[in-house]
Structure 1
Amino acid sequence: MNNLTLSQKIAAKTIVMIIFLFKLGNRQTRKKIAFGIARIIFALSPKTRKRSINNLRVAMTDQSSEDRIQYLAITAYQHIVFGVLEIFWFEDLEYTFEMDKETKAIIASGVPLSIATMHLSCYEAVPFALQKLTGRVTTLSKVPKFAAGLFSLYAKNGVCCVDKSQAGAFFSLLRKISSNGVVCLHSDHFGSDTDVEFFQKKTGAPAGPVMLSAYAKTPLLVAYAVLEKITLIQSILKRFLNFP
């Protein structure tokens, strides 16, 4: 950590301390702490608060109650924070998978796959869950320098994690899918690679998963995870596009 700024060193030490405190309690305790942290962040970060509320207004045009929108935004953010922190214990979680027969056949065939994932309440649940299912998952992540130790979490669970900030990151993904890999990319970030219409609104979206799917001539799957219970992750996969 010698090349880090003072603020980055403080942040790194804070992360280590939070992880240590979390390990002292059970999952229910961690959830309560995560929900408390989320409320603090939501209250102190105008950017996070505004983005969450505006997204809900776009998605729920029939919801006129500002109190209800505020409640849903806070609740959603609490689960997001909890999901982020739970990546440290993914190996302890139980996974179930929901997919139709066609998708199940694609997974079982062993072909390379491009999977567009959504964060929802479980930040990295999809690549970790699919690693248990396929054993050949690669994902892309931009981890800050002061938190570089997080890459060991991916390795610990057998997931190959490509650093988004490294030169030629996308070519690394191309090599992985060319060698029969399963590449999972988050696709619900704000992006402008391609124009799309979402909830009757013109917007942009990242095109990485589609490009990988077209390159490897393999189906594009969409996947998301739901934290149903405190110890159960349900991963839901759907076939979205098929390149012949």
Structure 2
Amino acid sequence: MKVDNAGKLKTKTITHSKLTLIKQKTSSVLIKLLVRALMTLTRERRKKIITKIGKTILRFAKKTRNRAINNISKAMPELSIKEATQLAFDAYGNCAFGLAESFWLSQVEPDIFCDEETLQILQSGTGACIATMHIGCYEAVPLAVAKFAKPSVTLTNIPDFLEDAIDFYSDVNITAINKNSANAFSELLTRAGNNAYISLHCDLYANQTEVSFFGQKTKAPAGVALLAKMTKNPLLLAYAVYQDDGQVQVFFETLKDERSDEQMSEPKNEQSVEQVMAKIYQRFEKIIRQYPSQWYWSYNRWKN
């Protein structure tokens, strides 16, 4: 029997797909077993183990490690290479735990802080767009939102083979939308128009709007500002950090109007998306300088 090249290619493609599916299912099962095993431990013990694993991974991930050290040196040139390296390892370990806690959000009870104006927005039921960042406990902001308002919506980057992990979000009344979905933004827009409280991580590199970050020009995602502009919903900023005792604290705030007294007497013009994102990044920088060992430094944030 003669088999042509097209037949061989099809057979190879099917075999490759089956192998990929097997690997994905195996990874999913292993991760679920690991999560279950970790949840039998105390939270303090989990943190020690995961932090150590995170630091070990960074030790062998040369490209990721060098990028983190380079980013830290760019942002804080006053640090020596030794200090920047130590900060990179501390931050990677802390962020590993902050990410892992997404799998047991039902056990996270954050302390929540905000002023009266922000509290009224969170309790009004009219929705808001919330700019957050990869610092401390990654999903503590939408978790805190869910305690004030419904629905609490966020984007997630969970791989397809771990879709069951979205249950960890729904268990605490968070709606998680896969950011890799082709209609992710349109779904966010629909939900924002239906009075949802949408929390989006905005400290990644994205070729959408130019900002200044630690004194250097870079590009940032503008989705949160665009959503607020299109829906006329309030725009808030929030972040979650760990205290020395391991307790999570979540802070909500509104962006301050930095106009002069003379400018304040004039009618306020609507700010552009670029201006809004610039203010958000100015605030991000101050927060990171306050908690440098809790922010994820390894993203390629300053691309040429």
TM-score (norm 1): 0.91
Distance 1:15 1:187 in 2: 27
Structure 1 stretches of 4+ moved >6 Å: none
Paired AA for residue 131 in structure 1: A
Paired AA for residue 56 in structure 1: I
Question: Residue 116 in 1 paired to residue 160 in 2?
Answer: no
Which ranges of structure 1 fall in alignment gaps of 5 or more residues? none
Tell me how far 1:169 sits from its aligned partner.
Answer: 1.1
Map residues 2-151 of structure 1 onto 2, 5 A cutoff: 4-63=20-79, 65-151=80-166
Tell me how far 1:130 sits from its aligned partner.
Answer: 1.1
- SS, match of residue 71 in structure 2: helix
Tell me how far 1:13 sits from its aligned partner.
Answer: 2.8
Q: Is the 8 A contact 1:138 1:162 kept in 2?
A: yes
2:217 to 199, 202, 209: 202
Could you tell me which residue of structure 1 aligns to residue 279 of structure 2? none
Paired AA for residue 72 in structure 1: L
2:198 to 168, 183, 186: 183
Tell me how far 1:203 sits from its aligned partner.
Answer: 0.2
Encode CA deviations 1:163-213: one digit per residue, 9 max, x unaligned.
Answer: 122221111101111011101111111111111111110000001000001
Could you tell me which residue of structure 2 aligns to residue 212 of structure 1? 227
Paired AA for residue 60 in structure 1: M
Encode CA deviations 1:122-154: one digit per residue, 9 max, x unaligned.
Answer: 111111111112132111112112211111111
Question: More strand per residue: 1 or 2?
Answer: 1
Question: Residue 170 in 1 paired to residue 185 in 2?
Answer: yes
Could you tell me which residue of structure 1 aligns to residue 175 of structure 2? 160
Question: What is the percentage of aligned positions where both structures have the same residue?
Answer: 35
Distance 1:115 1:237 in 2: 9
Question: Residue 192 in 1 paired to residue 207 in 2?
Answer: yes
Farther off after superposition, 83-92 or 165-174: 83-92
Encode CA deviations 1:35-89: one digit per residue, 9 max, x unaligned.
Answer: 12102210121232122212211221211x2111111111111110011111222
TM-score (norm 2): 0.74
Q: Is the 8 A contact 1:94 1:231 kept in 2?
A: no
Tell me how far 1:3 sits from its aligned partner.
Answer: 8.3
- SS, match of residue 111 in structure 1: coil
Which ranges of structure 2 fall in alignment gaps of 5 or more residues? 1-16, 258-269, 272-304
Farther off after superposition, 151-160 or 202-211: 151-160
Distance 2:19 2:230 in 1: 38
Paired AA for residue 40 in structure 1: T
Alignment RMSD (CA, Å)? 2.1
- SS, match of residue 110 in structure 2: strand
Q: Is the 8 A contact 2:121 2:127 kept in 1?
A: no
Distance 1:44 1:7 in 2: 23
Farther off after superposition, 97-106 or 20-29: 97-106
Q: Is the 8 A contact 2:125 2:150 kept in 1?
A: no
Q: Is the 8 A contact 1:76 1:121 kept in 2?
A: no
Greater Cα radius of gyration, structure 1 or 2? 2
Tell me how far 1:236 sits from its aligned partner.
Answer: 0.9
